[in-house]
Amino acid sequence: MKVDLIIDGGTVVTAAGVMKVAIAVEAGKISALGSRSVLPKAEKVIQAEGKIVIPGGIDPHVHYELYQKGETSPETWDKGTIAAAMGGTTMVIDFATQQKGKPLTEAVKQKLSRAAELSAVDYSVHGTLTDFTDLDKMRAEMKEMIDRGIPSFKEYMCYREEGWYADDWALLAVFKAAQEYGGLVKVHAENVSLIENWQQECLRKGWVEAKYHGVAKPNFVEAEAIQRALSLAEFAGSKVYIAHVSTREGVELVGNTRGKGLPAYAETCPHYLTLTEDLLEAPDGFYYICSPPLRKREDVEELWRGLADGRISVVSSDHAVFTSEQKSKHSAVFTEVPNGFPGVEIRVPIVYSEGVEKRRLSLSRFVELVSANAAKVYGVYPRKGVLAPGSDADIVIIDPKKEKTLDCDSLHMGADWSAYEGWKVTGWPTTTILRGKIIVDGEDYVGTPGEGEFVERKIEDAFIKTV
């Protein structure tokens, strides 16, 4: 009997270690790992000598078709997930944001129907609750979401103007319900009152350029909110996950909480690991407006230390694409610029190149950060995030020697600009396999948008506790 596919000769990396074994794939699942001589024959063999074989990347923070500051991101589910696949990611988690007065389920239904039609990789969404007028109703909705396999919620401690803001009372209620029903709250931690007042102060003084985005959101804005989110979660007895940590203070606060044995988790993003606030000072500084803002070199270095020593558990992209036209149209005043960076395609390669190549991270830690830990935290492990018999055959082959100079023409993300124009990276995914099917072959996407599947999730204490 023949299996469908064997990947032979590669260096196979899982969070547990690095092995020189072949991987057999049958009916979309990994059927065996072992020496080639003991595995069955295969319909197709990929020779992976000199390559690194990892579980497909899982990006638990992407925004497709995001509406912000009067603009809708042109990054549709098909384009955005093809870009994910090209960059070695086989599962993404986007956000379904409740419209006030309407049930969260409506937003979830809308997002999932777009994804079902167009997604090139497997997917899920986090719910975002924004209407806290009836907390009993809110709790019932959370329970319904969790029972339907959507057990994570992103809540915003800022963005009052956008209508996304959750105050401390609302956040505490969300933490308590998450604790009771088996959910996880992912928190955007920035202090809303300080931001709004500092922004107004800047505008009153006529300080409208991009660099004042950072002035209105100093490190303390993030640190204070992270501290409060950690305290509220501890009081509620719930787990907590801090989104897009950008500051050295944030790394320390999460690390201290984890050091007490509390279930606190955090992610950072490629842009906080590579770019610094001085970019905001250039005439085109408006491109670099994201929230939280870019920081100083000392923050960048502490984030890398946090990734290596376990204080930060995940690298997500916070992929949020707005075009040059959309960004520049609003560039006269920093508060009006749509926030965010294209990042879903460069996430795995940047962490490999800047992390493993530059000897900041081991290969196993790299796999934890781009795949395994997100799988455990968000409840898809061991179906995903690991190369083991019985797991989905989501497999990425990286050529560690492949050098690439980044520019937006050679990337597949929907932006006509790149924050990484001219950056050189070493190591790039050359094959992406989704549930046993090759969807990226060298420079080509060879899959079909719409073949990505919704993945039901359940957060298991046995796995999340190991993160």
Figure out which of the listed residues 52, 172, 320, 380 binds ligand URP, where binding follows CB under 6 A: 320
Q: CA-to-CA distance for 165 and 176, rounded, in angstroms?
A: 18
Kindly state the DSSP code that residue 182 receives in the 8-state scheme.
T
Kindly state the DSSP code that residue 335 receives in the 8-state scheme.
G
Please list the alpha-helical segments (H only) found in 167-244: 168-181, 192-204, 211-215, 219-236
Footprint (CB under 6 A) of ligand URP, residues 162-191: 188
Q: Is 251 in the site for ligand URP (CB under 6 A)?
A: no
Kindly state the DSSP code that residue 275 receives in the 8-state scheme.
-
Q: Is 318 in the site for Zn ion (CB under 5 A)?
A: yes
Q: Which amino acid, residue 127?
A: G
Q: Which residue, 15 or 92, has its beta carbon nearer to ligand URP?
A: 92
Figure out which of the listed residues 81, 128, 339, 431 binds ligand URP, where binding follows CB under 6 A: 339
Q: CA-to-CA distance for 221 and 306, rounded, in angstroms?
A: 20
H helix or E strand, kind and range, residue 425:
strand 424-434
Q: Which residue, 190 or 209, has its beta carbon nearer to Zn ion?
A: 190
Tokens of 275: 């770019």
Q: CA-to-CA distance for 319 and 121, rounded, in angstroms?
A: 15
Figure out which of the listed residues 290, 351, 363, 397 binds ligand URP, where binding follows CB under 6 A: 290
Q: Is 285 in the site for ligand URP (CB under 6 A)?
A: no
Q: CA-to-CA distance for 204 and 265, rounded, in angstroms?
A: 38
Nearest distance from residue 34's CB to Zn ion, in Å? 41
Residue 139 contact among ligand URP, Zn ion, none, beta carbon within 5 to 8 Å by kind:
none
Figure out which of the listed residues 31, 128, 291, 335 binds ligand URP, where binding follows CB under 6 A: 291
**How far from 247 is each of 305, 306, 420, CA to CA, in Å?**
12, 11, 21
Footprint (CB under 5 A) of Zn ion, residues 40-99: none
Tokens of 264: 């606190």
Contact 303, 271 (CB under 8 A): no
Nearest distance from residue 435's CB to Zn ion, in Å? 27
Figure out which of the listed residues 51, 111, 126, 188 binds Zn ion, where binding follows CB under 5 A: 188
Residue 391 contact among ligand URP, Zn ion, none, beta carbon within 5 to 8 Å by kind:
none
Figure out which of the listed residues 78, 277, 318, 392 binds ligand URP, where binding follows CB under 6 A: 318
Site string for Zn ion, 221-250 (x = CB under 5 A): ----------------------x-------
Interface residues toward ligand URP, by CB under 6 A: 63, 188, 244, 290-291, 318, 320, 339-340
